[in-house]
Each structure stands twice: as structure tokens, then as C-alpha cells.
């Protein structure tokens, strides 16, 4: 039997125009349109995008017309509505309607938070697999009689449903009162029967594919079993993963962790450098009525077969590939995916990534534009967006950030850094042909699941990186899922792109300086210490600090073996390169690197003192300490150089450089200091305000050479938020304020805000400059649509200063 026609069968020429979106509606219009406008704005657009996508899939793969049985809507409407098609007995049982009782079932399935379920006019059922749900079936003329009637429940998934592939389920309704096939298979039993109302309980197995299922009820008489009629249930049902069920591969035992990583619709994404890490508040919004349909749209676009959508490994991998927009290999001009990455400072034609306050607005824009990529995003935006999709499908997920990450593209587990005569790093190498880079930080997404496809011990957290394209397939993008335990052990051959993640955390950095006496123009530095993966962090379970970083949790030990010695690390390094574990191949091995507290055979100690937290607009000081440990005189040349930089390692303008030459007697110390005033950097900062600090030193007598670098970020002001008492349906006022820390005005100012689950995201342009050192205050009204404990998140950007954010917990009364 072919798949029945999905809902929204009436064709529509296009999506609603963008000018009616929530960001252009005033308070009076919102009050006028109320909940009806909101449903039109989000629910209707999301469901129609889902329908249009799936309708194209159905039309591409038409089923055999000979198997098309007429539905009740095709039976005609003769006198009394009793007309019936030729060959169908007149006394056949006919279904009046089917009710999935979505709000009642949502309590047991823990899906009541989904706005699809809470819709008053047309609630949509959302069920977790591994559990049973109740449905009511009302017949027309008479009761169901098991001795007289044959009754079948048919559940269809995808455009070409198949019983052997478990994308078509046929459940005969019999007199049995208990399940006989559950929990491994679909099963159905009669729960109650009252007059023409039949209550059934249907069990969904814990291996069921996730997505949109549709139901058709077939009836026949026992005397004529082949003559059947069909009733197409008007509502489709969403089936999602179940982290509460032990039989599900995504089961998480800890209740507090489930609450944080599945049910919490707000959180933080950590950004910054090693001395100034801060959490950016984010509204995941996984229960918004546009998110779950959009996840199904992405799965359709990913070409993942419907039979494979019960496997969390493949589902998470498909979503990871679709979050980042890319192009097909056969057509570089045709883009697919949701969010287009862009790491430069000019965001014309799209939105500044620092203005996103959550995932919902990105998803809305994606659906408004007809499932075309949204502009623009950074790695942390894509990871938060992937976290939203995984949580809406019932998987435990969190964004995780590593401070100092290698982006190594040539599979050598090494990054070569070249330094010119002035002590500055040569970007992309001398020939501009070295694509490797060192990022100040990088964010990916962790998802929790068992891995029966891997050896024992590799279940648990799996890393998914939507921002990096390592899997070069025709329809694939992204990286993972890679077992965190496999990355920790260096077992790179067990799962998807584990070597890429291992490389990001363990790659060696080598430094070379310009040398006329070298046969190839460069000589390697004898001493350097630039550890990759300084720390890995995520938001802690059950904590949210609006005023600081008290909710940060260090999870470095999850991905790195901190007890492993340097020779053992080199052994793993060789194994990952496919070499003998005892093979010494590189000349920068252990004795060539500066270990913590170990200077080797060198008698001059260099130490770059990292700047502490410095607020934007203040002066920063960098110090290079030099100590002659020998009893002889040493002549030292040292340089400190600073440049503005993007967090991706791309260099900006030169800021300041100092050089010094010291003659140190035995045991003597000296320092080289660089002071960078606000006037020297505030009009030359780019993106997130990073400054690349590079320090180098040479000793004439023993040919000792030293280099170190540091990614420094200025501390941005926090946004203060004050909100009066909030009530559903009533106008509320929020006041946002912060002080401009710079001595220059802020221009091209934009402001965005949203309240998770209660107020749609909106972006406004500030039609004035923010004067130097001014305390800027902005007032915005909004109308909450749902009650409960919510979190308001706001962001401000300008040409001179990005990433000014704030959050505030709200209690909204009914």
C-alpha cells in the first residue's frame, strides 16, 4: 500500500513574506493578533516547510497505483453519508475519527513542554519510543465486534514504507488485553471499549526510527477480508528518542544530567582565551513549535534513509552534516544545510553571528527562506544549534569548548609556524600556502549514547563537530560522532573522524625563524612551549550564573589523559601516524621541547607572563622575564610583538612591538615589558577583540632560541537587565544597560533579545551612536505567551565592540 497523502494537501504558491515576521511587529499588533498570529508565524511555516519537503520526496518515489485503496474521504457522500465503493460490503465497519490524545499521553512521555503538544486548536502528538501511548478510535454506525470485523492499525514512515525495513507497521486489533510482542516490537491491545469508542494502547519499541509517522486505520469484515476501507488519521505523530528508557541507545541514568542536557531549554556556550573565558548565554528553544519539524526537514535533506533513523549514531551524524551549509561536489553553486559559516568582520548580506541569542530565530529564518542557508555563523553558533536539534529529538547534548585548538588539514599531526625577522608570525607560511591554523578556542557538541558498534568502554559522550569538514563525501559534512574515550586513548581507527578530533587536541606546533645561514632559509627554534588544548569546558549541571562563570565545569580529563608522560604521548602520536610506536621520526621530539619546569640543557630561562583580565578600554601590559641561570655572562636579544587577531588565528593589524638587548651576568634577571594603551588598539580590534602576543628570544653565546605566543582577549562589559513583574498576555518592560568602555563612539549598533519559550526572538537597530564612556540604556517591551521560570537573553553589537551579552531569570505568572 502506498503512503497516504500527508496533511496540508492544499497547494500554496510560496511561504509568507518576511515583512510579517515578529521582529517588525509592534506591541499593538502583537496584542491584536495574539496567539493566532504566533501560530501562523512559527507553527504554520514550520509544518508547511516540513510538508513541502516530504511531499517532494513522496512524488519522487510513487508507489504502485494498483495498491491504492480508497480512503473514507473518497467514498463519496450519498444520502446519509452511507455511500460505499463497489465491492465493499455495506455493513463494513467505518471509522469516524482517531484521537491520539496528545496532551494526556504527553504527561507519561515527558513531552508536555513541546509547543506542538500544547497547541489548543490542533495539538500534535509527540511520543518517546520505548513507551506505550493511548489512542481513541470512534466508529460511525456500530461498535467494533472482534468476531465480525477485522481492524488494522497501519503506521507509515517515509516515502516508501516497508514491513521488512520496519518503516511500515501493521497491527491487527484483537481481543487481547495484554501486550504479547512488547517491548522489542510494536504491539497493540484493547484498553477499553465503550459504545462506539474504542481505546487502544500502542507500544513503540525502543529501536523505532524517529521522525514523522502517519497512521491509517483499515477495516474489513471477516467474510470479505480483502475488501478494505481506510481512514487516514488527520494528525501525524512525532516519535523521538527516549533518554528515560533503559532499552534506548540514548538512555542516560543520572536524572540531574537528563534534566540539564535534555529538558533545559537555556544554557551557556563558553568562549574566550585561556585567561578570559566567559560563558555566553544561549536559548536552545528545543520545545518551540518550529524546531522539531525543522529537525525532520534536515533529516530529509540529509538523504539519510528512513530505515536508518532509529540509529542515534547516524541520526546525529546526519544532523551534524546539515547544520553547516556547504555545496555539493558536482555543483559548487548549490548550497545545502542550515547555517553558512563566515569568520571575517564584514557581515553584509547576513546577520552578525554575535547578534544570535538562541537557535529559534536561525531556524525560523531557515524555514522562511524555503530551507535555504542562513547567514552567518561561527563554530559556537553551529554547535549550539546542533545541541538544539539533538535535544528536540530526545538526545542528551551539550556544547563543549576547547581553549587553543589546532586546525590541521594535512593529516601530519603537526602545525608549522614561521616567524619573520621582526618577531611576527607569518600567516599561512612564507609562500602563503600553509592552510593549518591555531584557533584561540573551538566549540563542538557532545551527545550521549551507547556505542555497540565500538569495543567495550567507548560509550558515553561522543563529539560532533559541525564546523569542520573532514568527511569528504558527496552529501556529507561535519565530523563525528567520535567517542571521547577513544580520543583520550588515541584509538583513532574506531569511529568517524576520531583522528581529526585527536589532532585538534594533541597536534604538535613547531616554530621556525628566518635565517640567512640556513640552506632553506629557516631554522627551527630550540625552545618553545605552546601547549595545545589548554582546557576543555562546558556548562555545569544544575547551575546557571548570570553574573559570572560560577557555572563552568572543566571536562579536560574526559578527552585527554593528563597522567600520560611525554614519551607515552609520542608513542600514541606515532601510532596515529601509522608508524612504529618506538620510531623516532621528528627532530622536535621530547628533548627539543620545553616541558613544564624543565629547561633541558639551556641555561637561560624565558617566561612570558600572560596578562591577567583586562577590561576593554584599559591598558594591558605584557612581560617577558629573562633569567641567566649560569655563572657566565650571557647576551640576550628579545622581542615582544602584538597584533589584533580573529579567534580563528587570522591576523589583523599590527599594534605594537618592543625589542631589547640584555647583557646578563651569572644569576642576573631582567625583564622586557610592552605596554599597550587603549588609544593604540581600540580602533583596530577585529571580531571578538583578540590580540596575538608573540615573544621570542635569542642567546648569542650558546645559540639558544626561544618563542612563545598567547591569545589575549579583552574583557567586555556585562549587560545589566532589569524587568518588572511579568504576566502572560500583558505588556512587560525590560531595561538593558551597559557602559561603553572605549574612548571612541560605538557605531552601527544592533540589539537583540528573546525570552526562552515565552517571547519570540527579535532584532532591532539602534538609531544612534553610543558616546565614549556613556552608560547606554535601552528599553524594550514584550508580551510573554507562556508562564513559568524563563530566562531572558540579550546581545548588543557594534562596529567597534561585539559580544556584549546579558541574561536574567524571569518568573512569568499566568
Dist CA 698 CA 705 (whole Å) = 5
Enter the C-alpha cell of residue 391: 535535544
Rounded CA-CA distance 34/30 in Å is 6
> Which cell goes with 76?
463519496
Residue 687 known to be catalytic: no
235, 124 Cβ separation under 8 angstroms: yes
**Rounded Cα–Cα distance for residues 41 and 752 (Å):** 18
Q: Report the residue count for the chain.
A: 814
- Quote the cell numbers at residue 654: 599590527
Residue 310: strand, helix, or coil = coil
Name the strands in the sheet holding 704-713, side by side, starting at the edge strand that comes first in the sequence.
527-528, 704-713, 690-699, 634-645, 651-664
Angle, to 10 degrees, between the axis of helix 360-368 and the axis of helix 379-392? 90
DSSP secondary structure code for residue 44 in this structure? I
343 vs 686: CA distance, rounded Å: 11
Q: Which residues, other chains included, contact 693 with Cβ-Cβ below 8 Å and sequence gap of 6+?
A: 608, 611, 622, 640, 641, 642, 709, 710, 711, 712
732 is catalytic: no
Residue 70: asked if its preceding bond is cis (omega within 30°), the reply is no
Q: Which of 187, 236, 288, 465 is catalytic?
A: 465
Question: What are φ and ψ of residue 393, in 5° steps?
Answer: -90, 5
SS3 (DSSP) at 257: helix
Which secondary structure element, helix H or strand E, spans residue 386, and what is its range? helix 379-392
Show Cβ contacts of residue 107 under 8 Å, excluding neighbours closer than 6 positions: none
Q: DSSP characters for 663-723?
A: EE-TT-EEEEEEEE-GGGTTTT--TTTEEEEEEEEEETTTTEEEEEEEEEEPBPPPPEEEE
Q: Hey, is 772 helix, strand or coil? A: coil
Instruction: Give strand pairing partners of 374.
Output: 339
Please state, in angstroms and rounded to a whole number, the distance separating the CA atoms of residues 307 and 774.
59
The label of the residue with cell 557532545 reads 446
C-alpha cell at 432: 602563503
Catalytic residue among 41, 442, 710, 802: 442
Characterise 228 by phi-psi region: left (phi > 0), alpha (psi -120 to 50), beta (else).
Answer: beta
Contacts of 52 (CB under 8 A, 6+ apart): none
d(CA 436, CA 424) in angstroms, rounded, equals 17
290 labelled catalytic = no
Q: Of residues 215, 320, 379, 732, which has the active-site annotation?
A: 379
Active-site residues, by number, are: 379, 442, 465
Amino acid at each position: 500500500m502506498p503512503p497516504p497523502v500527508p496533511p496540508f494537501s492544499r497547494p500554496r504558491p510560496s511561504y509568507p513574506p518576511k515583512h510579517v515576521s515578529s521582529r517588525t511587529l509592534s506591541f499593538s499588533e502583537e496584542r491584536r493578533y495574539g496567539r493566532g498570529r504566533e501560530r501562523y508565524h512559527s507553527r504554520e511555516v514550520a509544518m508547511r516547510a516540513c510538508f513541502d519537503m516530504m511531499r517532494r520526496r513522496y512524488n519522487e518515489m510513487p508507489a504502485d497505483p494498483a495498491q491504492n485503496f480508497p480512503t473514507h474521504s473518497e467514498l463519496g457522500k450519498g444520502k446519509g453519508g452511507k455511500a460505499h465503493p463497489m465491492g465493499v460490503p455495506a455493513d463494513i465497519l467505518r471509522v469516524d475519527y482517531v484521537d491520539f490524545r496528545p496532551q494526556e499521553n504527553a504527561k507519561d512521555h515527558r513531552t508536555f513542554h513541546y509547543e506542538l503538544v500544547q497547541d489548543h486548536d490542533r495539538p500534535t502528538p509527540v511520543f518517546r519510543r520505548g513507551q506505550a501511548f493511548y489512542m481513541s478510535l470512534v466508529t460511525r454506525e456500530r461498535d467494533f465486534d472482534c468476531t465480525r470485523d477485522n481492524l488494522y492499525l497501519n503506521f507509515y514512515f517515509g516515502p516508501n514504507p516497508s514491513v521488512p525495513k520496519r518503516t511500515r507497521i501493521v497491527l491487527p486489533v484483537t481481543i487481547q488485553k495484554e501486550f504479547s510482542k512488547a517491548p522489542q516490537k510494536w504491539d497493540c491491545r484493547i484498553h477499553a471499549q465503550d459504545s462506539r469508542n474504542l481505546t487502544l494502547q500502542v507500544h513503540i519499541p525502543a529501536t523505532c526510527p524517529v521522525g514523522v509517522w502517519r497512521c491509517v486505520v483499515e477495516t474489513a469484515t471477516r467474510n470479505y477480508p480483502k475488501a478494505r476501507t481506510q481512514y487516514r488519521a488527520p494528525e501525524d505523530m512525532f516519535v523521538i528518542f527516549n533518554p528515560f528508557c533503559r532499552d534506548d541507545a540514548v538512555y542516560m541514568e543520572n536524572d540531574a544530567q537528563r534534566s540539564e542536557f535534555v529538558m533545559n531549554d537555556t544554557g551557556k556556550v563558553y568562549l574566550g582565551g585561556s585567561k578570559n573565558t566567559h560563558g555566553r548565554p544561549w536559548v536552545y528553544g528545543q520545545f518551540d513549535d518550529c524546531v522539531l519539524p525543522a529537525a525532520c526537514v534536515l533529516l530529509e535533506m540529509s538523504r539519510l534513509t528512513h530505515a536508518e533513523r532509529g540509529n542515534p549514531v547516524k541520526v546525529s551524524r546526519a544532523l551534524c552534516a546539515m547544520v553547516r551549509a556547504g555545496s555539493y561536489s558536482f555543483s559548487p553553486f548549490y548550497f545545502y544545510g542550515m547555517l553558512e559559516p563566515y569568520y571575517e568582520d564584514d557581515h553584509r548580506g547576513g546577520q552578525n553571528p554575535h547578534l544570535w541569542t538562541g537557535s529559534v530565530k536561525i531556524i525560523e529564518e531557515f524555514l522562511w527562506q524555503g530551507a535555504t542557508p542562513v547567514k552567518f555563523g561561527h563554530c559556537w553558533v553551529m554547535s549550539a544549534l546542533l545541541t538544539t536539534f539533538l535535544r528536540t529529538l530526545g538526545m542528551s547534548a551539550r556544547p563543549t569548548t576547547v581553549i587553543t585548538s589546532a586546525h590541521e588539514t594535512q593529516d601530519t599531526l603537526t602545525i608549522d609556524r614561521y616567524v619573520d625577522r621582526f618577531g611576527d608570525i607569518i600567516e599561512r607560511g612564507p609562500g602563503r600556502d600553509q592552510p593549518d591554523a591555531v584557533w584561540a578556542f573551538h566549540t563542538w557538541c557532545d551527545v550521549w549514547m551507547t556505542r555497540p558498534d565500538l569495543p567495550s568502554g567507548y560509550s558515553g559522550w561522543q563529539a560532533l563537530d559541525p564546523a569542520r569538514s573532514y568527511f569528504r563525501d558527496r552529501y556529507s559534512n561535519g565530523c563525528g560522532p567520535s567517542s571521547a574515550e577513544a580520543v583520550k586513548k588515541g584509538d583513532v581507527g574506531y569511529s568517524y573522524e576520531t583522528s581529526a578530533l585527536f589532532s585538534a587536541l594533541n597536534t604538535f606546533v613547531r616554530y621556525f625563524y628566518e635565517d640567512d645561514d640556513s640552506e632553506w632559509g629557516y631554522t627551527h627554534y630550540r625552545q618553545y612551549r605552546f601547549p595545545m588544548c589548554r582546557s576543555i569546558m562546558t556548562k555545569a549541571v544544575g547551575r546557571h550564573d548570570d553574573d559570572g562563570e560560577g557555572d563552568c565545569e572543566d571536562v579536560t580529563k574526559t578527552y585527554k589523559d593528563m597522567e600520560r608522560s611525554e614519551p607515552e604521548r609520542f608513542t600514541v602520536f606515532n601510532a596515529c601516524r601509522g608508524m612504529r610506536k618506538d620510531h623516532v621520526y621528528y627532530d622536535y621530539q621530547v628533548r627539543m621541547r620545553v616541558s613544564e619546569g624543565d629547561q633541558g640543557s639551556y641555561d637561560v630561562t624565558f617566561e612570558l607572563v600572560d596578562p591577567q583580565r583586562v577590561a576593554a578600554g584599559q591598558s594591558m601590559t605584557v612581560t617577558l622575564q629573562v633569567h641567566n641561570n649560569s655563572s657566565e655572562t650571557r647576551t640576550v636579544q628579545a622581542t615582544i610583538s602584538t597584533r589584533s587577531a580573529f579567534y580563528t588565528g587570522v591576523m589583523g593589524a599590527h599594534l605594537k612591538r618592543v625589542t631589547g638587548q640584555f647583557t646578563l651576568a651569572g644569576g642576573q634577571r631582567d625583564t622586557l615589558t610592552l605596554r599597550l594603551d587603549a588609544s593604540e588598539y581600540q580602533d583596530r580590534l577585529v571580531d571578538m577583540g583578540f590580540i596575538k602576543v608573540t615573544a621570542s628570544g635569542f642567546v648569542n653565546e650558546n645559540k639558544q632560541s626561544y618563542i612563545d605566543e598567547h591569545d589575549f582577549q579583552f574583557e567586555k562589559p556585562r549587560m545589566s537587565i532589569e524587568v518588572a513583574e511579568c504576566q502572560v498576555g500583558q505588556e512587560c518592560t525590560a531595561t538593558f544597560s551597559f557602559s561603553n568602555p572605549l574612548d571612541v563612539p560605538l557605531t552601527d549598533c544592533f540589539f537583540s533579545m528573546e525570552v526562552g519559550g515565552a517571547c519570540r526572538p527579535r532584532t532591532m537597530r539602534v538609531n544612534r551612536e553610543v558616546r565614549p564612556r556613556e552608560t547606554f540604556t535601552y528599553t524594550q517591551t514584550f508580551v510573554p505567551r507562556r508562564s513559568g521560570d524563563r530566562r531572558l537573553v540579550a546581545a548588543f553589537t557594534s562596529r567597534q565592540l561585539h559580544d556584549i551579552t546579558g541574561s536574567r531569570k524571569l518568573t512569568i505568572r499566568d
